[in-house]
Structure 1
Amino acid sequence: MHNIQTRAVPPDACATLVRGGYSPLLARLYAARGIAQPEELADGLGALLPWQTLKNIRPMAARLADAIARQERILVVADYDADGATACSVAIKGLSAMGATVDFLVPNRFEYGYGLTPQIVELAATRRPDIILTVDNGIASVDGVDAAKRLGIETLITDHHLPGSQLPDALIVNPNQPGCDFASRHLAGVGVMFYVLMALRAELRERQHFADGAEPNLGELLDLVALGTVADVVRLDQNNRILVGNGLKRMRAGRMSAGVAALFQVAGRAAHKANTFDLGFTLGPRLNAAGRLDDMSLGIACLLASSSESAMGLARQLDELNRERRHIEAGMREEALADLSDIDPQSRYTLTLFREDWHQGVVGIVAARLKERFHRPAIVFAPGDGEEVRGSGRSIAGFHLRDALDLVYKRQPELIVKFGGHAMAAGLTIRQAALGTFREAFESVARELLDEKQLTRTIETDGALPPQDISLELAESLAACVWGQGFPSPTFYNRFQVLKQRVVGEKHLKLRLASRGREFDAMLFNYADWLPDEIEAVYQLVANEWQGRKELQIYVEHWRAAADEMLEG
């Protein structure tokens, strides 16, 4: 069951944006997304939030500057997802450009799990670092920092995840740590590292480190910052939109790293028209495939590649891993749906599933698919170490997943070995024997925090478009904007006559639609049954490029027979 809802448009904000020079349609779209003043849409790097407002960033910059002066060995310890990989690459490139002696280590998720654990510290110690610098992890690594300290290794933490009740005894830069006044809580891990480099460059300027004029241009790292930010699905507030938008400009202009260019090529996407969809749904998954099935060192090596030839070889390996990941995911998804066939998912507030043969690296994606299909918080488990199982969860709006797990833990501490994450995604480890008890405890918490309205999917649209406004030019104009998590790409809602329809690729519908005398080509993906003669459709406008020609297409996302109950397309 779905509700269709038109986003509210504050009239005063809309009028202000029109006076600021925006078209009535763009003003409407931006106002509906919380923009009230034209300056909130400033996209130049000069409009970034000042790095000085990040807690501890000055002392961290000073410590890194000291390390460069003393030629101390810095070892970057990264997370094994796309955010961690891009953050690691930004750290390696940026620190190296400023004269640091730097290397990296990324945990294999199957051997070491997440974060700076004592086991990872032991492995890191074999590299004989003076400093461990974490990227996209570390805020919960109390034991790991203590282990490093016992070995005489200093730890610097850059992270963006929510802290637990105890912070590690280390210098921390994290916009979500207590006492941080940074105006955005939504920086990705790669964004935090980029800010640290800005502070470090400023510190080195004061020390006249760049007296020979060889000051690095940090803008050259923005393609990696954009990729990691979008792939990590953080909210695209103004600060993140600036980072992403400037990274996309570099990609479109062909001024990107060899690794990012190679990922575009193996994905069959055109970098000259790069958008957030490319980053989140084609490049990001290929990068993530390394951490899910193999070792993220492969992904980092691709991003750090110095030549197109070496980058392409690594990108092809990532592409092959992604194909394998999709195959594994499809099998697990079908098995999960089979397991759910014995129950009514709509009768439950949560979905918690486990099989002995499921792949630990793919559980998060399967949880996301189940969440999308049933609009329920979902956690999928796979075998872990010994008698433990490891799970990954995805949530819906209004249900903070990490806080829900924290509530389960506080009530029944014996159920959860460890957990972490944020509102929409989290990971946890439990004993396999406790799986049934955990399932019911998690369900109980959800029933306290959710209601039936929240469990009904609401599809938000930007209302109807006059048919005369539906054009290739509008599609291209919208594609040039930065849309994403928390700043969703525009969707519209109109009634159409279905003039023609045929199945293509065995599972998609190619359509010819009409509205008020105008006709449009359209696609409905992953749906191969016949549509009625008249539908009401939620859709996006797409500038489709085929054999050198651009043409307008309507991508139908949801539809219903006119005046009938909404069905998902």
Structure 2
Amino acid sequence: MPVWRFRNTSIIYPKYKLLEGILAARGLNADELSGASRLDPYQVPGMEQVARRIAQAASNKEKVLIFGDYDCDGICSTLIMMRFLERCGALAAFHLPSRQDEGYGIRPDHVERAVDEGFDLIVTVDNGISAFQAAETAQVLGIDLVITDHHEPQDKIPEAPVVDPKLPGSSCYREYSGAGVAYLTCCAVAQLLGRPEPEDFLDLVSLATVVDVCPLTGDNFVLARRGLLQMRSSLRPGLQALFNCNNQYQITGRTMGWILGPHINAAGRFGDPLLAYNLLSAKTPEEAEPLAAELKKVNTERKNAVEVIKQECLSMYDGSYFPLLASPDWHEGIVGIAAGRLVDAVSRPAAVGAICGEEARFSARSLGKFDLVEALAECQSQTGALLRFGGHKLAAGFSLNSNNIPEVKGFLNKFAQECLQPEDKVHWIEVDASLAAVPPPSEVASLDYLEPHGKDNPEPTFYINDRAVDVKSGTGWTLVRLNSGLKYFTSQPIQAGDRVHTVLSLAVDEYNGFQNIIGNARDVRPFLCSRNNLLQQYLKWRRGEEITELAEKIFHELDLERTGDNNKTNLFLSPTFLRFGIVKEGRKR
């Protein structure tokens, strides 16, 4: 049940134009979003040393191994670094590890193999910040290793040159994808070699940033926006093949995140990441089409397997604050997706794992402000049971001896019970602006300036309070026309004549040469319940005055008493407020 959160209650169309209002509500600056100023790669800590070593390798035509990762971000990072080093004259090769056979990240045996094969330099992309043993092995064997990564470091840094925006003391933008860091590293090397920056790789940066669920803010938005426009003007044959060469698809954050990304990720999760790499690097439709067909088959198998694991997880869920579930029958490559589905279903952080012999390998997902890296670090500090762990606040991985599962499960459950807040479990709908009139198609079209949408840059959402004058329904759809003339689709029951409060997104629908505005409802309610109003109702109630029936129901759900002392409680513990509640966050202008 969603709670609406109004960013700024004074942003109303047509007082503000649509795009102007969204920017104002989100506190964004149009000039900054346009990315007119060039990003400085040397602001990222560690860049100088790493870029100089890579530039040296390119100048001397050294043999360089790029060690990547098996997900979309790692595959895109690998392709960017590979093509750039080839362009600069290095003798480059790459390795994408098998998730099931090798696991995540570079290991000592990978370093040993690189030495045996005569490589002069190893460059990691989208991994390496926790590769302590690999760095030690490289030192002992006398091969240079440089690390480019974007994951959170632990309490120490590998003894090797490292570029990572999250290094301690960093003052740069912190939220780049692995592909973003790889691209900026290439830009820094290009400057040293007097070459143009490899802007033709920005489409890969954009895809990786969206699919890896990195915040689409600041520098990330600038990079992702440039890459999006590049995709729209010249889409790689491999991506065209995933769309079945259908030019009707408009490249957006949604198509990247929900169509392209899952297919690219499926290769590493449920097959061979080389399949996705070859698809992205394909030069012709003839080369791409059979690869896309195979990838679609793998993705279908992946979706079916995820659904099976999700249902088994739900049947095993015992109501704990941090469910930790594992089975030897589950495919390691898709337990992360299953963990995300479990989080959505139970509104708790969760970890789902595959038991491989004596080792259990988990992927965890979180929600709200619950920090997985903090939880896992504390778990390791208190229990010492984790063999490896790392990742981000909302998505992380770890492994342990399967005998230690009960101990780790108990610790994480207790940690979540103490740290998880009711607000973390709320499904929020962020409302950007209110509509007092129906905007013209040109204004709705201007919202494309904010693409690609994704984490921390959602699709604009509008609020309208109006009467439904006409309702038409068919199989799987209901179309509502409001008194204002605005039409929207919804899955919720509405009767003609109802007064409804609606939050929706807007799009331009073109048919037979005519453009019309069409909405897609996110939520529809017969009435709203404001947190601010409830506070006033509570004060009246305590004075013995009459209040609304709805307010009294909410106070009863929170175990509040009209007289005497009440313990402090949280409004988000009320099911009624979760169903009808709104929160007004923004300052009035």
Band the TM-score falls in, shorter-chain normalisation: 0.7 to 0.9
Instruction: State the partner residue of 1:247.
Output: 227
C-alpha deviation, 1:390, in angstroms: 1.2
1:78–1:136 contact (8 Å) kept in structure 2: yes
| 1:181-196 map, 5 Å | 181=171, 183-196=172-185
Worse-superposed segment, 225-234 or 529-538: 529-538
1:537 partner amino acid: T
Say yes or no: does 1:403 pair with 2:383: no
Say yes or no: does 1:435 pair with 2:400: no
| 1:173-322 map, 5 Å | 173-181=163-171, 183-205=172-194, 215-216=195-196, 218-253=198-233, 255-265=234-244, 270=248, 273-322=250-299
Say yes or no: does 1:421 pair with 2:391: yes
C-alpha deviation, 1:286, in angstroms: 0.6
Question: Alpha-carbon deviations, 1:258-277, whole Å to 9, x = none?
Answer: 333333437x5745x31111
Q: Identify the match of residue 354 of structure 1 among 318, 326, 329.
A: 326
1:77–1:105 contact (8 Å) kept in structure 2: yes
Say yes or no: does 1:485 pair with 2:474: no
Instruction: Give, in whole Å, the separation in 1 of the partners of 2:109 and 2:219.
Output: 36
2:270–2:298 contact (8 Å) kept in structure 1: yes
Instruction: Give, in whole Å, the separation in 2 of the partners of 1:362 and 1:543.
Output: 36
Instruction: State the partner residue of 2:544.
Output: none
Instruction: Give, in whole Å, the separation in 2 of the partners of 1:519 and 1:60.
Output: 55
Give the secondary-structure state (helix, strand or coil) at the position aligned to 2:8.
Answer: coil
Instruction: State the partner residue of 1:210.
Output: none
1:4 partner amino acid: W
2:158 partner amino acid: P
Instruction: State the partner residue of 2:345.
Output: 373
1:105–1:124 contact (8 Å) kept in structure 2: no
Question: Alpha-carbon deviations, 1:189-208, whole Å to 9, x = none?
Answer: 11111111111111111xxx
Instruction: Give, in whole Å, the separation in 2 of the partners of 1:434 and 1:112.
Output: 22
Say yes or no: does 1:56 pair with 2:46: yes
Q: Closer, same or farther in 2 for the Cα pair 1:464/1:285, shift >3 Å?
A: same
2:473–2:479 contact (8 Å) kept in structure 1: no
Give the secondary-structure state (helix, strand or coil) at the position aligned to 1:301.
Answer: helix
Instruction: Give, in whole Å, the separation in 1 of the partners of 2:292 and 2:511.
Output: 24
1:60 partner amino acid: V
Instruction: Give, in whole Å, the separation in 1 of the partners of 2:51 and 2:189.
Output: 4
Worse-superposed segment, 531-540 or 23-32: 531-540
C-alpha deviation, 1:246, in angstroms: 0.8
Q: Identify the match of residue 166 of structure 1 among 153, 156, 166.
A: 156
Instruction: State the partner residue of 2:555.
Output: none
Q: Closer, same or farther in 2 for the Cα pair 1:546/1:422, shift >3 Å?
A: farther
1:418 partner amino acid: R
C-alpha deviation, 1:549, in angstroms: 7.8
Higher-Rg structure is: 2
| 1:74-93 map, 5 Å | 74-93=64-83
Say yes or no: does 1:559 pair with 2:524: yes
C-alpha deviation, 1:512, in angstroms: 1.4
Give the secondary-structure state (helix, strand or coil) at the position aligned to 1:265.
Answer: coil
C-alpha deviation, 1:548, in angstroms: 8.8
Say yes or no: does 1:65 pair with 2:39: no
C-alpha deviation, 1:53, in angstroms: 1.6
Q: Closer, same or farther in 2 for the Cα pair 1:292/1:503, shift >3 Å?
A: farther
Instruction: Give, in whole Å, the separation in 1 of the partners of 2:354 and 2:509.
Output: 40
Instruction: State the partner residue of 2:432.
Output: 462
Say yes or no: does 1:516 pair with 2:500: no
Query: What is the TM-score with the length of structure 2 in the denominator?
Result: 0.83
1:350 partner amino acid: F
C-alpha deviation, 1:5, in angstroms: 1.7
Question: Alpha-carbon deviations, 1:357-387, whole Å to 9, x = none?
Answer: 2221111111112222332211112223x22
Give the secondary-structure state (helix, strand or coil) at the position aligned to 2:450.
Answer: coil
Give the secondary-structure state (helix, strand or coil) at the position aligned to 1:411.
Answer: helix
C-alpha deviation, 1:23, in angstroms: 5.4
C-alpha deviation, 1:52, in angstroms: 2.1
C-alpha deviation, 1:140, in angstroms: 0.5
Instruction: Give, in whole Å, the separation in 2 of the partners of 1:70 and 1:551.
Output: 60
Question: Alpha-carbon deviations, 1:202-225, whole Å to 9, x = none?
Answer: 1111xxxxxxxxx55511111111
Q: Identify the match of residue 447 of structure 1 among 404, 413, 417.
A: 417
2:345 partner amino acid: R
C-alpha deviation, 1:326, in angstroms: 0.9
Give percent identity, aligned residues only.
31
Instruction: Give, in whole Å, the separation in 2 of the partners of 1:532 and 1:337.
Output: 35
Instruction: Give, in whole Å, the separation in 2 of the partners of 1:380 and 1:219.
Output: 38
2:470–2:482 contact (8 Å) kept in structure 1: no
Instruction: Give, in whole Å, the separation in 2 of the partners of 1:488 and 1:337.
Output: 29
Worse-superposed segment, 399-408 or 348-357: 348-357
Q: Closer, same or farther in 2 for the Cα pair 1:86/1:544, shift >3 Å?
A: farther
C-alpha deviation, 1:467, in angstroms: 4.3
Instruction: Give, in whole Å, the separation in 2 of the partners of 1:431 and 1:351.
Output: 18
Instruction: Give, in whole Å, the separation in 2 of the partners of 1:229 and 1:161.
Output: 13
1:349 partner amino acid: Y
For structure 1, list consecutive stretches of 5 or more residues without a partner in the other structure.
206-214
> Aligned Cα RMSD in Å?
2.7
Which structure is richer in relative contact order (CA contacts within 8 A, separation 6 or more)? Answer: 2
1:302–1:311 contact (8 Å) kept in structure 2: yes
Q: Closer, same or farther in 2 for the Cα pair 1:548/1:196, shift >3 Å?
A: farther
C-alpha deviation, 1:335, in angstroms: 2.1
Worse-superposed segment, 556-565 or 233-242: 556-565
1:222–1:244 contact (8 Å) kept in structure 2: yes
1:377–1:396 contact (8 Å) kept in structure 2: yes
Instruction: Give, in whole Å, the separation in 1 of the partners of 2:579 and 2:315.
Output: 22
Instruction: Give, in whole Å, the separation in 2 of the partners of 1:245 and 1:380.
Output: 34
2:478 partner amino acid: L
1:235–1:484 contact (8 Å) kept in structure 2: yes
